[in-house]
Structure 1
Amino acid sequence: MRIVNLIILHCSATREDRDFTEQLLEAAHRRRGFNGIGYHYYIRKNGDIKTTRPIERIGAHAKGYNANSIGICYEGGLDAAGKPKDTRTLWQKHSLQVLVKALLMDYPDCRVCGHRDLSPDLNGDGEIEPEEWIKACPCFDVSTEM
């Protein structure tokens, strides 16, 4: 069993007015050269939690952090015009809370963060600020919700 000390939340960076199934996610990841979906879990708009990669397998979702992390992705993250937005449905918010709580029972020492929170601290002030984000993913502040 590998050591897991980080749970990283992501969005699929897909538009809120379009469905993005786990099959479409897998096809997109395979086109990028991944061996299947890079996240361990995928949460659909209706709140369904899909297990997409066994936790025992290292993910492919956050370069430099995959070896010791679990990746969770929710469907959405862009508004209908393609701009970053917290598009989570009430079902997704609930499922995300339940999933993270369950994982923390198995991995109690894990830090929970958003992908954007792993961006480099360019100005060295100890805080990753919006102007330093490499991407907006997951389009909400994980630290205030988890």
Structure 2
Amino acid sequence: MRSDSTSPIASAIRDWPLPYVEKLATRPLAAVDLIVIHCTELPDLAMARNYGERVLYDSGSGNSGHFYIDRDGSVYRFVPIERIAHHVRGHNARSIGIELVNTGRYPHWLDSRHQAMDEPYPEAQIDALIGLIARLAAELPGLRHIAGHEDLDTERVPASDDASVQVARKRDPGPMFPWVRLLSKIPINRLASAAATHSSA
């Protein structure tokens, strides 16, 4: 891993590019207007990295966010922001994906009996997220919106333990995520549709 001191947002970011980064499509930064918050739903950063490196598409790329924030507040850049990462269906070209290391529903993601997401997000992790968003907002004048993965991918699918039961395909960042605190500290707004859907968050 190396630090890229030429980037305006590099002072607290460790570059750790995925092996297939050069195979991801590029985009003009002016096209980026949305940040999507995810959680890894995996126990640690090492496993999240392993999942991110998996090749899933004919292009030779896989699924990953742009940035990963560990529980201690360490920030890693897996994908440069000028490249389109595969992290949220239907919104990749316009968005930056930020993944927070959090267990989520691991390892029974779609089991109807294991849908609780009760791991809190540590202060250091949220502080790092606030700092990263502030830096991105300063670098990208078109950045206007933020949403959770669950706001944008609302599909429900048959539960893995009982196909007659429907569960949310994506629930991250989940009910423990401190939306009120985050929004009070950053210069961008939650998507109107997302705020209406989760008005109590």
TM over 0.5: yes
Matched, 1:112 2:146: yes
Instruction: Normalising by structure 1, report the TM-score.
Output: 0.75
CA distance in 2, matches of 1:142, 1:56: 28
Q: CA deviation at 1:76?
A: 0.5
Deviations 1:22-54 (A, max 9, x none): x43232134361625611100011110001111
Out of 80, 90, 98, the position equivalent to 1:72 is 98
Deviation (angstroms), 1:84: 1.2
- Corresponding residue number in structure 2 for 1:88: 121
Which structure would you say has the larger RCO, counting Cα contacts within 8 Å and 6 or more residues apart? 1
Question: 1 CA distance for matches of 2:102 and 2:155?
Answer: 26
How many aligned positions are there? Answer: 133
Q: Which residue of 1 aligns with 2:75?
A: 49
Give the AA of the match of 1:31: R
Letter in 1 for 2:137: L
In terms of mean alpha carbon deviation, does 6-15 or 105-114 score higher?
A: 105-114
Report the Cα distance in structure 2 between the residues aligned to 1:26 and 1:121, rounded to whole angstroms: 25
SS of the counterpart of 1:14? coil
Q: CA RMSD in A?
A: 2.9
Percent identity between the two aligned chains:
26
Amino acid at match of 2:136: L
CA contact (8 A) 2:36 2:146 kept: yes
The amino acid that maps onto 1:64 is G
State the SS of the aligned residue for 1:136: coil
Could you say if the C-alpha distance between residues 80 and 7 of structure 1 is closer, same or farther in structure 2, counting changes exceeding 3 Å?
Answer: closer
- Distance change in 2, residues 1:112/1:132 (3 Å): farther
Code of the aligned partner of 1:12: T
1:47 partner amino acid: G
Once the two structures are superposed, the pairs formed by residues 1-146 of structure 1 within 5 Å of their partners are 1-2=28-29, 3-15=31-43, 20-21=44-45, 23-31=46-54, 33=56, 35=61, 38-78=64-104, 83-108=116-141, 109-120=143-154, 134-140=169-175, 143-144=179-180, 145-146=182-183
Give the Cα–Cα distance (whole angstroms) in 2 for the partners of residues 132 and 36 of structure 1.
Answer: 24
